[in-house]
């Protein structure tokens, strides 16, 4: 869900790939999009700046370090998030152990009292730190939670895209979602969420895509992305700064120890 | 004494003692906030000889927080303290919240100095969190962080997949800060005794408190085992006479605790259990009236999200006294006996609104055995990234009339009967936005 962007460079680099991918099943397309958007590389490190902007233009800012590691073999992931700003949440940290088919394990560290707590993860639609992104938007939605259909193929800007409709199988906070998935990078460049009345509720856009190299591989990355609530006018603009992949984050970083004492080396 | 010891430790550990290469790269960042707190009595009643009139709390605080780490991140320090003006007592003072230096090794973490330690899974029910609390802060309505007091300690942590170990050794005893009779209604059965003495455990090797936590994950379960050798943090009392003049000596009885907790995702939420035994070494038989008896404490909790941005936590807590018959038989005439078993249920609801700019929360605890309830509804609003305002109200309702109880107990509970006070906190955070030197790449 996190992903969506405009990806022009990659198309120029490997135009041949596009023709090899015809008539893919919709679920396969969404699966690849999720892999490109949420799971690129063996691990990832970034500094994330989130601007929460209301309809009047009033802005609030959250700055955090994000570390992510994919576990070998499966789709399990570990996240470590450490807040630098604003001041009243400084040093607050989240640890998430994400599983594909059951509730995540989530812990929060509250620095004022040096306390580590498990937090309920049932409703992954809850807002992530007051932004327009939900927890699910940050770490991905189960592929099997929705039925996926390819509606059409069309260009979004300069990028050839699949337009996929995803309909939740169980009650969700959207009735359907349209995703423009770039045929080259597999990143979602745009997503539209419709509410129960089938009115457009939220729009995601990948505003800037960069090809980030690591160890001979290149990972197209949406380094600027926006989620806008078109009904309230509130939007959240996210910039991923200094993104790096395959940096060898040790597994023990994703434990309670890091909550208690943040691993300086990895969050600077 | 506590301040001096913390500063001494810091001086020894100041990163000047680190290698020259690292010393040159020690970025120190300074943050802080300004906060005003005011609590007003709503009952119209005021304690006799009390201070502050209608105010339980009226203060302005300046928080300064300096932290730094070496280039490698392996050496670090943090100093966090408040300078405050207490308008009720009309004084200016300081409160060193934390001041420690630390070292992070491959598997070991070491911290020396004043630090806040929080263990256990309870929300305001403490079983294996044997570290000192500031109950006056809590009941007078300061933000929750002030409930915890730092300990001047050495803390060593070992981390591995097989087992994590956390040891806190505290040579300098810190008691709970209890509500003051100048601001709260307290029942003191010894009020008429002119000579009252207070003894805190002197700094000696055998008085060093040691707390241990072993923990790991087992099949999706966060499991912890705890042990603690130290003292009760609320004083007991002995009454004797000095040539016929009655005299009260308050002291902190010795205490050994051990216990366990477990927590995991279950039933679409989080299920937690915690239990512990309090072994009151100075009253093994339960016959010393001024020393708490040994106890068992058990807690079960369930947290789940009821709706988007709405979370509920339900807790049930039971405390059972050992050697109850001895306790009853040794209770002085005129004191009403505690129940053998105390039970408390609590609910906390937290709702975020409007992109989490508004937070509504309520904590309600009721005890069927004590026939009383305690409630703290709270509304906080974030005006900007730098400013927020918080309104909290503290309520205590009791179906029982205050009556004589054992000294230690009375102090623990009496404030509940007296408070109904809204607190307004206004907070402004520094410094300005932008990467700080310590966090810049």
Which of B166, B216, B305, B380 best tests the A interface by mutation, with the highest count of A CBs <10 A?
B305
**Range name among A72-81, A127-136, B391-400 with the lowest pLDDT average:** B391-400
* Whether the predicted pLDDT of B403 surpasses 60: no
Nearest to A252 among B121, B159, B436 (CB): B159
Tokens of B239: 């009454």
- A60/B384 touch (CB, cutoff 8 Å), yes or no: yes
- Nearest Cα of chain B lies from the Cα of A180 at a distance, in angstroms, of 27
Q: What number is the average pLDDT over the span A206-232?
A: 96
Q: What number is the average pLDDT over the span B16-26?
A: 46
* Whether the predicted pLDDT of B200 surpasses 70: yes
CATH number 1.20.120.10 is the correct assignment for the domain at A9-267: no
Which residues of chain A neighbour B114 with C-beta distances below 8 Å? Answer: none
pLDDT of residue B294: 96
3-class DSSP assignment, residue A234: coil
pLDDT of residue B182: 85
The residue extents of the domains of chain A are 9-267
Nearest to B355 among A52, A114, A117 (CB): A52
pLDDT of residue B428: 72
Of residues A23, A2, A29, the one with CA closest to residue A184: A29
CB burial of B310-326 (b: ≥16 within 10 Å; e: otherwise) equals bbbbbbebbbbbbbbeb
Higher pLDDT: A16 or B120? It is B120
Higher pLDDT: B406 or B401? It is B401
Which residues of chain B neighbour A46 with C-beta distances below 8 Å? Answer: none
Which residues of chain B neighbour A105 with C-beta distances below 8 Å? Answer: 220, 265
Q: Tell me the pLDDT tens digit for each residue of A194-203.
A: 999 999 999 9
Domains recognised in chain B with CATH numbers: 2-430 (2.40.160.10)
Nearest to B305 among A84, A120, A131 (CB): A120
- A vs B, Cβ pairs < 8 A, gives 122
- Nearest Cα of chain A lies from the Cα of B419 at a distance, in angstroms, of 25
pLDDT of residue A159: 95
Q: What number is the average pLDDT over the span A139-149?
A: 90
- A261/B430 touch (CB, cutoff 8 Å), yes or no: no
Measure CA of the first residue to CA of the last residue in chain A; give whole Å.
27
pLDDT of residue B25: 52
* Whether the predicted pLDDT of B86 surpasses 60: yes
- A126/B263 touch (CB, cutoff 8 Å), yes or no: no
CB burial of A72-94 (b: ≥16 within 10 Å; e: otherwise) equals eeebebbbbbbbbbbbbbbbbbb
Task: Name the band, by pLDDT with cuts 50, 70 and 90, for residue B401.
Answer: low
Nearest to B357 among A122, A126, A130 (CB): A130
Q: Tell me the pLDDT tens digit for each residue of A222-249.
A: 999 999 999 999 999 999 999 999 999 9
- B308/A173 touch (CB, cutoff 8 Å), yes or no: yes
Task: Name the band, by pLDDT with cuts 50, 70 and 90, for residue B423.
Answer: low
Give the number of other CB atoms < 10 A from CB of residue B380: 17
Under 8 Å between Cβ of B377 and B160: no
CB burial of B413-423 (b: ≥16 within 10 Å; e: otherwise) equals bbbbbbbbbbb
pLDDT of residue B196: 76
* Whether the predicted pLDDT of B190 surpasses 80: no
Under 8 Å between Cβ of A191 and A33: no
- A86/B385 touch (CB, cutoff 8 Å), yes or no: yes
pLDDT of residue B8: 52
Q: What number is the average pLDDT over the span B180-203?
A: 80
Q: Return mean pLDDT, chain A.
A: 89
Residues sharing a CB contact under 8 Å with residue B224, sequence separation 6 or more, in sequence order: B119, B128, B213, B214, B215, B260, B261, B262
Nearest to A122 among B73, B144, B305 (CB): B305
Number of Cα atoms under 13 Å in the Cβ half of residue B75:
19
Which of B15, B65, B73, B387 best tests the A interface by mutation, with the highest count of A CBs <10 A?
B73
pLDDT of residue A203: 98
**Range name among A65-69, B394-398, B418-422, B436-440 with the lowest pLDDT average:** B436-440
pLDDT of residue B432: 46
pLDDT of residue A22: 54
Most confident of the ranges B174-178, B396-400, B436-440:
B174-178
- Nearest Cα of chain A lies from the Cα of B333 at a distance, in angstroms, of 42
Which residues of chain A neighbour B429 with C-beta distances below 8 Å? Answer: 86-88
pLDDT of residue B290: 87
Give the number of other CB atoms < 10 A from CB of residue A130: 19
pLDDT of residue A1: 40
Task: Name the band, by pLDDT with cuts 50, 70 and 90, for residue B430.
Answer: low
Which of B30, B68, B265 best tests the A interface by mutation, with the highest count of A CBs <10 A?
B265
Of residues B368, B369, B351, B347, the one with CA closest to residue B360: B351
Q: Return mean pLDDT, chain B.
A: 85
Q: Tell me the pLDDT tens digit for each residue of A5-17.
A: 444 444 344 444 4
Q: Tell me the pLDDT tens digit for each residue of B27-72.
A: 788 888 999 999 888 877 788 778 878 888 899 999 999 999 888 8
Under 8 Å between Cβ of B202 and B261: no
How far is the C-alpha of B328 from the C-alpha of B340, rounded, in Å? 10
Nearest to A88 among B73, B222, B388 (CB): B388
- B270/A118 touch (CB, cutoff 8 Å), yes or no: yes
Most confident of the ranges A103-107, B299-303, B351-355:
B299-303
**Residue B299: exposure state from Cβ atoms within 10 A (0-12, 13-18, ≥19):** buried
Q: What number is the average pLDDT over the span B399-426?
A: 48
Q: What number is the average pLDDT over the span B140-144?
A: 91
Nearest to A123 among B265, B305, B433 (CB): B305
Nearest CA in chain A to B431: A87
Task: Name the band, by pLDDT with cuts 50, 70 and 90, for residue A64.
Answer: very high
Q: How much is the ipTM here?
A: 0.86
Which residues of chain A neighbour B439 with C-beta distances below 8 Å? Answer: 84, 267-268
Give the number of other CB atoms < 10 A from CB of residue A243: 20
**Range name among A20-24, A105-109, A188-192, A218-222 with the lowest pLDDT average:** A20-24
């Amino acid at each position: 869900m996190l992903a969506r962007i405009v990806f022009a460079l990659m198309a120029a680099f490997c135009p041949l790939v596009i023709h090899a991918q015809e008539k893919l099943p919709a679920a396969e397309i969404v699966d690849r999009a999720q892999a490109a958007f949420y799971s690129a590389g063996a691990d990832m490190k970034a500094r994330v700046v989130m601007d929460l902007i209301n309809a009047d233009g009033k802005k609030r800012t959250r700055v955090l370090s994000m570390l992510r590691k994919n576990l070998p073999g499966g789709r399990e992931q570990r996240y470590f998030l450490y807040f630098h700003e604003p001041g009243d949440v400084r040093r607050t940290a989240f640890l998430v152990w994400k599983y594909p088919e059951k509730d995540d394990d989530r812990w929060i560290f509250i620095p004022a009292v040096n306390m580590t707590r498990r937090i309920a993860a049932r409703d992954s639609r809850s807002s992530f730190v007051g932004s327009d992104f939900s927890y699910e938007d940050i770490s991905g939605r189960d592929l099997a939670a929705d039925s996926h259909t390819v509606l059409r193929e069309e260009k979004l800007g300069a990028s050839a895209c699949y337009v996929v409709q995803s309909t939740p199988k169980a009650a969700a906070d959207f009735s359907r979602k349209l995703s423009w998935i770039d045929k080259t990078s597999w990143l979602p460049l745009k997503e539209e969420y419709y509410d129960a009345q089938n009115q457009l509720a939220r729009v995601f856009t990948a505003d800037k895509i960069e090809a980030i190299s690591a160890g001979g591989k290149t990972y197209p990355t949406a380094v600027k992305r926006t989620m806008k609530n078109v009904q309230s006018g509130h939007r959240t603009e996210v910039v991923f700064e200094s993104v790096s992949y395959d940096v060898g984050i040790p597994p023990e970083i994703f434990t309670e120890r890091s909550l208690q004492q943040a691993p300086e080396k990895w969050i600077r | 004494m506590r301040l001096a010891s913390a500063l001494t430790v810091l001086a020894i550990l100041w990163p000047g003692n680190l290698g020259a290469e690292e010393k040159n790269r020690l970025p120190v960042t300074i943050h802080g906030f300004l906060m005003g707190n005011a609590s007003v009595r709503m009952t119209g009643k005021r304690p006799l000889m009390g201070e502050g009139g209608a105010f339980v709390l009226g203060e302005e605080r300046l928080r300064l927080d300096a932290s730094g780490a070496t280039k490698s991140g392996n050496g670090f320090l943090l100093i966090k303290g408040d300078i405050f003006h207490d308008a009720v007592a009309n004084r200016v003072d300081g409160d060193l919240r934390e001041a420690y230096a630390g070292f992070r090794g491959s598997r070991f973490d070491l911290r020396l100095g004043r630090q806040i330690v929080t263990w256990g899974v309870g929300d305001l029910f403490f079983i294996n969190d044997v570290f000192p609390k500031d109950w006056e802060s809590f009941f007078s309505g300061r933000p929750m962080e002030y409930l915890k007091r730092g300990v001047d300690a050495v803390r060593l942590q070992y981390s591995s997949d097989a087992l994590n170990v956390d040891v806190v050794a505290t040579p300098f005893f810190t008691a709970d800060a209890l509500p003051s009779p100048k601001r709260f209604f307290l029942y003191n059965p010894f009020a008429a005794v002119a000579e009252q003495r207070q003894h805190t455990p002197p700094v000696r090797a055998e008085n060093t408190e040691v707390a241990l936590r072993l923990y790991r994950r087992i099949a999706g379960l966060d499991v912890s085992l705890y042990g603690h050798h130290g003292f009760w943090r609320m004083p007991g009392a002995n009454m004797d006479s000095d040539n016929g003049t009655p005299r009260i000596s308050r002291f902190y009885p010795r205490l050994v605790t051990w216990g366990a907790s477990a927590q995991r995702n279950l039933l679409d939420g989080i299920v937690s259990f915690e239990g512990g035994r309090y072994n009151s070494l100075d009253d093994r038989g339960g016959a010393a009236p001024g020393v708490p008896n040994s106890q068992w404490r058990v807690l079960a909790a369930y947290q789940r999200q009821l709706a988007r941005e709405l979370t509920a936590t339900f807790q049930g807590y039971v405390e059972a006294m050992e050697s109850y018959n001895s306790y009853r038989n040794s209770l002085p005439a005129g004191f009403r006996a505690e129940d053998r078993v105390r039970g408390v249920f609590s609910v906390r609801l937290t709702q975020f609104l409007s992109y989490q700019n508004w937070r509504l929360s309520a904590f309600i605890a009721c005890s069927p055995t004590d026939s009383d309830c305690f409630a703290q509804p709270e509304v906080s609003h974030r005006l900007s990234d730098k400013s927020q305002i918080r309104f909290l109200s503290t309520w205590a309702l009791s179906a029982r009339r205050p009556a004589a109880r054992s000294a230690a107990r009375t102090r623990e509970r009496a404030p509940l009967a007296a408070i109904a006070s809204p607190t307004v906190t206004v907070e402004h955070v520094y410094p300005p936005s932008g990467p700080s030197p310590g966090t810049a790449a």
